[in-house]
Amino acid sequence: MIRRIKLPGWIVIFLLLAGIVFGIDKVFVKVFGESLEPNEKIVDSSVYPGLNIETKTRETDLYTSSVSKPYTDNEQINKLMNEWIDEQEEAFTSGIEESKNMLEENDFRAHLNIQVDTEKIADKLYTIEFQAYQITGGANGITKIKSFVMDLNENKLLQIDDVFQLNKSSIQDIQELIMNKLHSNEEIKPYILDEEAEKALNDSNNWKWSVTPDNVIFYFDEYEIAAGAAGSIKVEIPIKEIKPYLNETFAKKLNIELTEEETEKEKKSTEDYPQLDPDGKYVALTFDDGPHPEVTPRILDTLKKHDAKATFFMLGTQVEYYPELSKKVMEAGHEIGSHTMNHYDLTALELNQIIVEMQQSNDIIEKATGRTINLLRPPYGASNSDVEQAASGMDNSLIMWSVDSLDWKSRNAAAVNEEVMSNVSPGSIVLMHDIHPSTADALPQLLTSLEEQGYQMVTVSQLLELWDEKDVGPHYGK
């Protein structure tokens, strides 16, 4: 199977040198004024034992970004993955500098999205597939793919000779398998450049590959072996076809059958909440980008103490890692909506890509919680007619906000409380994020202040029902 997937010159030189000496995250801070959180100790509650993930988003006048970063207890493994992420961020930073004038003139924001697809092969044996998409100008963005296969039983990243028998005969056979798959796909066959494909496969040390329980996958970047219309290419070869060429030790690991019980959960509609008094004083607190293994439980505890309900707009990538935590949010009586799968700016995607982003997230959240998703908050609040069409097709309402706590910017509890209390009014939908410890710090006093002014904290759906608003929206609150 195959799938497609102007500053002055001296400042640019300074940025490049700074990126080398201090690291690309620090360059982002210096250039764009972003405030990066220090590394936090994360509780290992992931569905992938030994492997956790953190998704960080940024937003400025020039760009938006969403970077998912998996990590382990092994610093060397983390270092190798982070080096590749840093390379993508450095290229993005350079692209912004080159396109700064165009971005400002055209009121267009650049976007970087690094998403992660994780496959469990066996016990603590994982494939991590990164897909980095960036657009800094022009009509089309650039997509790059990188994979890592890690064995956390031995605390190492597997190299190609850990997986394949790399004698001359097996290399030739694998090359032939890949070429046959490329030519058998009618969709991309017209774009394949045979000479470039053979060149890319010539040195096995340069192969980009990964393993899943069912396939061995070989990756090719855009323009590497085909015309640009083909996009990034994945060649999937079933294990049964390539097994004769696998390293014997690795093949034995694949034969260890770890059966996962697949239980079909009956999809239920969102729990019915009590009807609201039309003359009541209500506010809907919403939390984006989670769940987070440390921050989200703190927020749940505070909400429980104040008998307050809230709505959590979760990322599919985060729910995939922390399904039990997602379920706890639902079981605590709170509402769950989708924040898409990978936090893309949906307005930069084609309609079919938007649908995939929404559907993947809905499926993962519904599997984790057993509840049907009918609310969507588009990342960055970015929406257009395609986004509305996709949401309508899934019977999802688009939920924006009327009060931005700016917790993503201030990272300060007192500032969060001041921002919300200065702008809140009856019927407000308040934007917060359950990934910042400072937001959890702010919540006890914020709830107390709201209660003192007579507010009751309810879900977004309760507000929409009170206003008799059941359409796609977008809905912003009062």
Which pLDDT tens digit goes with each residue over 85-139?
999 999 999 999 999 988 888 889 999 999 999 999 988 999 999 999 999 987 7
The superfamily in CATH containing domain 2-158 is Fervidobacterium nodosum Rt17-B1 like (3.30.565.40)
The span from the CA of 443 to the CA of 432, in Å, is: 10
Buried b (16+ CB within 10 A) or exposed e, 202-241: eeeeebbbbbbeebbbbbbbbebbbeeebbbbbbebeeee
User: Does 288 qualify as catalytic in the annotation?
Assistant: yes
- Count CB atoms within 10 A of the CB of residue 84: 15
- pLDDT of amino acid 38: 38
Angle between helices 9-22 and 24-32 (to 10 degrees): 140
Q: Which CATH code is given to the segment(s) 161-254?
A: 3.90.640.20
Of the residues 111, 339, 343, 433, only one is catalytic, namely 433
- pLDDT of amino acid 120: 92
- pLDDT of amino acid 2: 66
- pLDDT of amino acid 424: 97
User: Does 404 qualify as catalytic in the annotation?
Assistant: no
Average pLDDT of the segment spanning 228-246: 88
- Classify 377 as helix, strand or coil: coil
Amino acid at 158: L
Residue, of 158 and 4, whose pLDDT is higher: 158
- pLDDT of amino acid 228: 84
Q: Name the burial class of residue 422, with classes exposed (0-12), middle (13-18) and buried (19+) by CB atoms within 10 angstroms of its CB.
A: exposed
The CATH number fitting domain 282-466, selected from 3.30.70.270, 3.40.50.970, 3.20.20.370, 3.40.50.300: 3.20.20.370
Please identify which residue in the block is written with the tokens 């990272």: 411
The span from the CA of 320 to the CA of 363, in Å, is: 10
- pLDDT of amino acid 179: 93
- pLDDT of amino acid 405: 97
Domain ranges of the chain: 2-158, 161-254, 282-466
Of the residues 151, 288, 407, 441, only one is catalytic, namely 288
Is 442's pLDDT higher than 80? yes
- pLDDT of amino acid 24: 45
- pLDDT of amino acid 28: 45
pLDDT digits (tens, 9 = 90+) for 250-292: 888 876 332 333 223 333 333 445 678 888 999 999 999 999 9
Which range has the worst mean pLDDT, 3-7, 387-391, 448-452? 3-7
Prediction pTM value = 0.74
Query: What is the DSSP annotation of 77-131?
Result: HHHHHHHHHHHHHHHHHHHHHHHHHHHHHTT--EEEEEEEEEEEEETTEEEEEEE
Residue, of 344 and 45, whose pLDDT is higher: 344
Is 22's pLDDT higher than 60? no
Mean of pLDDT over the chain: 86
- pLDDT of amino acid 3: 59
Amino acid at 64: T
Residues, the chain, total? 478
